[in-house]
Structure 1
């Protein structure tokens, strides 16, 4: 049951430099299947029903950050992030507060580099989590055998994949609790790689909502061909 007055917002983390990709252009500005990576992600989030607004967090050095495909939509806003993911997401959450978001409102945090996310899957996440204060995230059960490597690049041991999930985005949490969790991780000087991990450190148990494997992250140049195929099929389904 939803908290009276609780609203839904989006936050797109687009402040990364994409160093693993190489090149001078951040990967969120690469074109895939006719649109920029960032614009694919923005459109998917904007299509979620009852969404109040989306904060796009970019880097200070990102000259293309202000060129948002969604600027025709008054719900799209932008702010500057920080040196780390935690810094950037925290900046985006505070910027949403400045727009009028409250601590009880829910925020979908999505990586710009996951352009193939489907709006229908985001809606499933929102409906499954509802107003649970522990929040939740899209994820997929690990299906492959996992190996741990030693410092020589050889197999050290095999890791059981039972109960293991691969975390994806969006991740959905109450704004106030998420800010508290991120600030806690900063005070503890612990490195967190996603918002769920920050919440877990505060004792939360976020809900895992299964996502299709197609919601992959654009990390390597070799991901381009697969993503262009996925995005082309997605676009065809919505014509």
Structure 2
């Protein structure tokens, strides 16, 4: 199975308090995006496309391997993935979409996603159980209800798709639509989404505390 990886790396570093795009923020002296690309390649996805801010193309080209393809991303995650998907081309069986902000995702999670696609899944996402009590709050911030957490899962990346399923879903999606992830895009187009076990190491780096935790993990 020929799979191509897409890394969404066009986001800003505002919530991280960074003076550069989040994907270029260093973790153990390496930009987050480099960790994400390595995860895909170590898991068996050699061909990688990275969606980056248009004014930072040279900065990303400096830190990434020469054979990584760079495309200009959009103002939203959905727009960035759409742009990267257009660069994937034909002759591809599967596409894995990964977040640059999940630098410590282990390669064996990539393997699980690829195996699920090889077994016939059209779309697959890694998930983790929700371990905290989860509630619904009203407009005043009061607790209105408690949600049954046994049926809830936290979704991670990389998310994997049969290429034609993802291409068709994005073709169906209105250009100005913004969904939270690519699984939501294919589900909106009627494609069932399977799950595989996620990994706590694949936590997302969003705020400074997340980056500090990641630094602790790589320094062990």
**Residues 132-187 of structure 1: CA deviation (Å, up to 9, x unaligned):** 25220111121111122334433332222121111100001022221221232226
SS in structure 2 at match of 1:231: helix
Match for 1:33 among 13, 28, 33? 28
**Residues 58-117 of structure 1: CA deviation (Å, up to 9, x unaligned):** 01133523223323xx3x1111111221211111011111xxx33x52011000000010
Match for 1:180 among 135, 148, 168? 168
Number of aligned positions between the proteins: 219
Higher helix share: 2
Q: Report the Cα distance in structure 1 between the residues aligned to 2:142 and 2:60, rounded to whole angstroms.
A: 41
Matches within 5 A, 1:81-92: 81-92=73-84
Describe the shift of the 1:190–1:157 C-alpha distance in structure 2 as closer, same or farther (beyond 3 A): farther
Describe the shift of the 1:128–1:175 C-alpha distance in structure 2 as closer, same or farther (beyond 3 A): closer
TM-score computed with the length of structure 1 as normaliser: 0.84
Q: Report the Cα distance in structure 1 between the residues aligned to 2:150 and 2:80, rounded to whole angstroms.
A: 33
The answer for the alignment partner of 1:130 in structure 2 is 118
1:149 aligns with 2:137: yes
| 8 Å Cα contact 1:16/1:59 also seen in 2 | yes
| 8 Å Cα contact 2:117/2:162 also seen in 1 | no
Q: Report the Cα distance in structure 1 between the residues aligned to 2:46 and 2:26, rounded to whole angstroms.
A: 27
What's the offset of the Cα at 1:232? 3.4
**Residues 206-234 of structure 1: CA deviation (Å, up to 9, x unaligned):** 1111111121000111112211122335x
| 8 Å Cα contact 1:185/1:192 also seen in 2 | no
| 8 Å Cα contact 2:136/2:147 also seen in 1 | yes
1:95 aligns with 2:83: no
Q: Report the Cα distance in structure 1 between the residues aligned to 2:149 and 2:55, rounded to whole angstroms.
A: 40
TM-score computed with the length of structure 2 as normaliser: 0.90
| 8 Å Cα contact 2:134/2:149 also seen in 1 | yes
What's the Cα RMSD here? 1.9
Structure 2 spans left out of the alignment, 5+ residues: none
Describe the shift of the 1:115–1:95 C-alpha distance in structure 2 as closer, same or farther (beyond 3 A): same
